Every structure is written in C-alpha cells, then in structure tokens.
A and B are shown apart, each in its own frame.
Chain A
Amino acid sequence: MIFRKFPLFVFILPLLATLNAAGQEQDTLKAVRGAEHSLYADANEQNCLRCHGKLVYSIADTVTGQSRKELMAEHNFVSPDAYYNSVHWSFSCLDCHSEGFRKFPHAIETRFETGWSCLDCHGYDPTYAKYKFEEIDAEYQKSIHYTATEGAFTCWQCHDAHYYRPLARETGSQRDNIFKSNEMCLHCHGNPDIMGLVTEKELTMVLPRHEWLPDPDRHLAAVRCIDCHTRMSDSVLVAHEVMSADSAVNSCVDCHSQNSILMGTLYKYSAKESRDQEGFINGVIFSNDSYVIGANRSKFISLTGMLVILLVLVFAGAHTIFRIIIRPVKKYYE
C-alpha cells in the first residue's frame, strides 16, 4: 500500500545505485589506453620512437652504409610504455611537435621549439572545465615558481605531458599519492643540475632544511610537500600556488588543530578518492574511515550535550516520582 501511494521509493533506490555506479567511471576511462589502441603507434615508432623511444639507438650513414649505436640523452628519451599509458596516449608525436622534426638530423630551430602549456590545449574549453585549468594557471602565476624564474618554469617542470596521469584521481593509496607527489618536487629540488635549468639560485638541500620538524622522516613520508608549501585552495584538487620557503607552514597547530584547513582538505580528498574509486555505497556508506574528524572535536559540545540529556532524564525522573507520590492527592481531588 505504501509503495502504491508513494512511488518515491521506486525513484530513490535507482538514484542511489546511479550514484554508486558513477564512481566506477574512472576505471572505464583508464581501460582504453595503450599502444594497441593508438592510431599513430606505427607512425610514432617509425618517425620518432625508433630513436627517442630507446635508451640505445642506431644511426646509419646512408652514403657509406656504416651504422653505430649511441646512447639517447635522458631528457630526450620518451618511454613508449609510459607514454601510451598517459592521458595523451592517443596523440601522434607531430600533433604537438613541429614539422621540423620530420627531418633528421633535426634542424637547430627545433631546439628552440616552445613546448605547449597545459592551458594552450585545455584552457577555456568546456570539455575540461571540471579540471579548472584556468584556476590552476592563475594560482601558478602567483607562485614562487613563476615569479622567481621569470617564466622559465613551466607546467612541464612538474608535469611531463608525455607521461602525465591524474595522480590524485588514479593513485590507489594515499601513501602512494604522497610519495609520487613528493617525487615530483624532488626531481628538481633534489638535483642541482635540473634546478639550474630554471634558476641561478643555489639549491638548498631538502632534508637539512626540514630537520626542525619533530620526526622529520615521518612527516616527509606522510605529508605532501605541497601541503605545507602551497596556499591551500578549496576549489582546485591540487593547490598550485607554491609559496616561498619563508611563507610555508611552520607551526604545529596549523595542521594539528581541530579546524585546520589541511585537515579539512585531506578529509575532502580522502572522501572523494574513496567515492571515485569504490562508488557511493562501498566508498562512502561503508568505508568512510575519515569520519574521525567529527569525533570528539569539541569537548564543550560533547560535554554540554551529555549534561543537557542528563538534566532531561533527572527532570523526567523527578516528574515520575511526583506522579507516584501525588497520585493519592490526585484521587483526593477527584
């Protein structure tokens, strides 16, 4: 009878099922990557990857017929496996690189080719609106990476387009994500030569600079560099406004407090990660292990709440006693 009168049940249950299914979408997207699905895999191999896809490549003198093997410079090497598993796997090399690369040896002008920035392809495009590239770019332009290097630092320093994968959305565990995120920073901040490509500033060694932290190893393994070194943003998933070292978080209570932004951001990230990977029912209803942030966080509220409940019970108890004692009086009045 209820079902006939309120068909709302019938609509709400499929809605929950849809919410749950939405979380599985990412896996479907990942499944179609790979060289075997690329229309350009053969062309890429013949034109570019037969040299740039190998750590050791062969060159031949077409006049004398001589050939020899050479090592590919690390920064010119593109791992085919990693490329075809990246988000840009479906592109031909020459979709992004200039026609000048068709000729070998490559002309000197090709050395000065400007790499595309993320915004060149993804900016102001409704298809990618949900990734908020424009907001990321605005944050990056305020960051120390941009202001201190006069623009020499580009998206590529952290996000090599050949290998780019949405770490925060794809990485299984939070620990892996932290490790990979920090690896990105240490690629430059742990290597003076690479750092020297964008700045004259002398590299400060990362570990000695963080010795002031209690148990530095534990901190560095459990927190992303950007958690302390960026201005936290609520609108983009990964904050990009990297601040100067002087402005970084250096107070314990900034993180270890009841209402820190970091705690909130981590909860949001964790809840979303769980939902995206396991769906609403499994990821939110049954496995929201971050609920602890709501627990006992205000002793005042927890205590006051219990006291008021206790008062209500005492009042009810007193009323009951009066009801028992005064019953004869009531009868007398009757």
Chain B
Amino acid sequence: MSSNFYHYPVWVRLWHATNGILCLFLIVTGFSMLYSNPENALVVTFQRAVAIHNTCGVLLTISYTVFFTGNLFTANGRHYLIKLKGLGKRLFQQGYFYAYGYFRGEKAPFPVDRDRKFNPLQQVSYVGVMYMILPMLFVTGWALMFPEFILKRFLGVSGIFLTDQFHVVLGFLTVIFLFIHLYVSTMGKSPVSNFRSIVTGWQESH
C-alpha cells in the first residue's frame, strides 16, 4: 500500500538542483584538470576547465550557505540529526537490507515517511558529505585561490601540495558519494520514483 505525501519543499528542490548541476560541472572540470595538461585537453581546455571550476566552486559555496542556513532555520535540518544510540545496529539492518533482504522481497527496515527522509546509511553519508567533506572542499578550494594563507610546510611537506592533494581526495569522495547516491535513488518504489519525487516534491512511500 502506498500513499503520496509532500516531502521536498521548493527551496530544498531548488537548492538540490543547483547543487547537483554545480557538482557535475565541478566533477567534469576537476577530472579534466587532473587527468590532462595545458597542451592536451581531456574534456575542455585546461584554461577553460580552471575558469569553470573556479566559478562553480564560488557558486557552490553560495548555494551551500543557502542549504546550511535553511537547515538551521527550517524543519529540514532535523533529518541531519543523527541519533547515536543504536546507530550501529540500524546501519547493519539497512546494509543487510541492501545486500540481501532487498532481493528476498523483505520490507525496508526504515522506509521513507513523513518524519523520516533518510534511512540510517543515507543519513550518515549525507551528514558526512554535507557537513564534513563539502566544507573541507570549500576551505581547501578557497585556500588554493588565496595561497598566501596556506602553511609553508606541514610535517615536512609543502603546504600547497598537501592542500591540493587533500582537495583532490575530497573531490574523489564526493564523486563516489554521487554515484552511490544516484544508484540508491533507483531503489525506490520504481527505479524512477525517487527522481520524480525530488522534481515534484511528492514522495511515494515504499
């Protein structure tokens, strides 16, 4: 039995779309910069990739500020509050469901409802990405634009080298998150129902 309910307010959907588009541009230009050089362009020319990457990085910072403020002052923020008690057990239940229970036709242990937008695995990964990885990406990204604030040496290694490698690692983690996020989104009531929800705002429970 299913019931539809309004789950994603306009600002969340607009932010999510902006965030997604900017992240895609950042990932494509980031890869282009990482695996090509000024003479051999991978996707776009090196110089253009830098300009697009920087522009999208600044815009993503602004978009993130909207998300952060929105979560601070609206009810959406409650979905990002992790209840630590019993977390390990809940994570295992959800992992078990994805790996085994799902194929046996078992019911989702933490289905989406009016009060719960994320299952425990989603909650932990979203909090990790939105409150740890992205802020660190912003700090390292902006630092590379204002390199005079970067430490000269840290543990015997060039501060700039560490900063840009850290930025790259965080970028990889974001790409990995994006793939998992997209794949898990296909595991709704139907493969496209979750995608429809984030566009219309109406969630079909499963």
A interface list, Cβ under 8 A from B:
1-2, 5-6, 8-9, 12, 16, 232, 234, 258-261, 263-264, 267-268, 271-272, 275, 284-289, 291-298, 301-302, 305, 308-309, 312-313, 316, 319-320, 322-323, 326, 329-331, 333-334
B62 within 8 A of A: yes
B87 within 8 A of A: no
Interchain CB contact (< 8 A) of A308 among B35, B70, B172? B172
For A258, list chain B residues within 8 Å (CB).
Answer: 161
Known contacts: A294-B168, A297-B164. The answer to whether A268 contacts B34 by CB under 8 A is: no
B81 within 8 A of A: no
Known contacts: A9-B66, A284-B54. The answer to whether A297 contacts B161 by CB under 8 A is: yes
* Contact across chains for A285 and B51 when beta carbons are under 8 A apart: yes
Q: Which of B56-85 contact A (CB under 8 A)?
A: 58, 62, 65-66, 69-70
- Alpha-carbon separation in the docked complex, A315 to B102 (Å): 15
For A313, list chain B residues within 8 Å (CB).
Answer: 179
Known contacts: A6-B66, A268-B147, A289-B50. The answer to whether A296 contacts B103 by CB under 8 A is: no
For A288, list chain B residues within 8 Å (CB).
Answer: 50, 54, 145
Known contacts: A264-B161, A296-B37, A302-B168. The answer to whether A6 contacts B51 by CB under 8 A is: no
Q: Which of B137-176 contact A (CB under 8 A)?
A: 144-148, 150-153, 157-162, 164-165, 167-169, 171-172, 175-176
18 inter-chain pairs at a CB distance below 8 angstroms, sorted by A residue, are A2-B14, A8-B69, A232-B152, A259-B162, A261-B153, A268-B148, A272-B148, A284-B146, A286-B51, A291-B50, A294-B168, A297-B164, A302-B35, A302-B168, A305-B172, A309-B175, A330-B103, A333-B104
- Alpha-carbon separation in the docked complex, A285 to B66 (Å): 21
The 0/1 profile, CB within 8 Å of A marked 1, for residues 91-128 of chain B is: 00000001000111100000000000000000000000
Nearest-Cβ distance from residue B23 to partner chain A, whole angstroms: 14
For B34, list chain A residues within 8 Å (CB).
Answer: 294-296, 302
Interchain CB contact (< 8 A) of A330 among B104, B146, B168, B179? B104
Nearest-Cβ distance from residue B185 to partner chain A, whole angstroms: 11
* Contact across chains for B176 and A264 when beta carbons are under 8 A apart: no
Interchain CB contact (< 8 A) of A294 among B70, B103, B144, B183? B144
Nearest-Cβ distance from residue A11 to partner chain B, whole angstroms: 10
For A297, list chain B residues within 8 Å (CB).
Answer: 161, 164-165
For B175, list chain A residues within 8 Å (CB).
Answer: 305, 309
For B54, list chain A residues within 8 Å (CB).
Answer: 284-286, 288
For B186, list chain A residues within 8 Å (CB).
Answer: 320
For B36, list chain A residues within 8 Å (CB).
Answer: 295
**For the complex of A and B, 9 pairs with smallest distance between CB atoms:** A234-B152, A294-B164, A305-B172, A259-B158, A259-B161, A333-B105, A330-B105, A264-B160, A285-B54
B11 within 8 A of A: yes
B38 within 8 A of A: yes
B interface list, Cβ under 8 A from A:
10-11, 14, 33-38, 46-47, 50-51, 54-55, 58, 62, 65-66, 69-70, 98, 102-105, 144-148, 150-153, 157-162, 164-165, 167-169, 171-172, 175-176, 179-180, 183, 186
- Alpha-carbon separation in the docked complex, A293 to B179 (Å): 28
- Alpha-carbon separation in the docked complex, A8 to B176 (Å): 30
Query: Which residue of the partner chain B has the closest CB to A330?
Result: B105
For B153, list chain A residues within 8 Å (CB).
Answer: 261
Nearest-Cβ distance from residue A295 to partner chain B, whole angstroms: 5
Query: Which residue of the partner chain A has the closest CB to B70?
Result: A6
Known contacts: A16-B58, A298-B165. The answer to whether A271 contacts B103 by CB under 8 A is: no
* Contact across chains for B176 and A2 when beta carbons are under 8 A apart: no
- Alpha-carbon separation in the docked complex, A322 to B187 (Å): 13
For B37, list chain A residues within 8 Å (CB).
Answer: 292, 295-296
Interchain CB contact (< 8 A) of B179 among A284, A309, A322? A309
Known contacts: A9-B62, A234-B152, A291-B33. The answer to whether A259 contacts B176 by CB under 8 A is: no
* Contact across chains for B145 and A284 when beta carbons are under 8 A apart: yes
- Alpha-carbon separation in the docked complex, A111 to B196 (Å): 88
* Contact across chains for B104 and A260 when beta carbons are under 8 A apart: no
For A320, list chain B residues within 8 Å (CB).
Answer: 183, 186
- Alpha-carbon separation in the docked complex, A250 to B206 (Å): 68
* Contact across chains for A305 and B168 when beta carbons are under 8 A apart: yes
Interchain CB contact (< 8 A) of A2 among B33, B66, B103, B152? B66
- Alpha-carbon separation in the docked complex, A263 to B180 (Å): 37
Interchain CB contact (< 8 A) of B159 among A264, A331, A334? A264
* Contact across chains for B62 and A293 when beta carbons are under 8 A apart: no
For A298, list chain B residues within 8 Å (CB).
Answer: 165, 168
Known contacts: A288-B54, A305-B169. The answer to whether A12 contacts B38 by CB under 8 A is: no
For A275, list chain B residues within 8 Å (CB).
Answer: 146
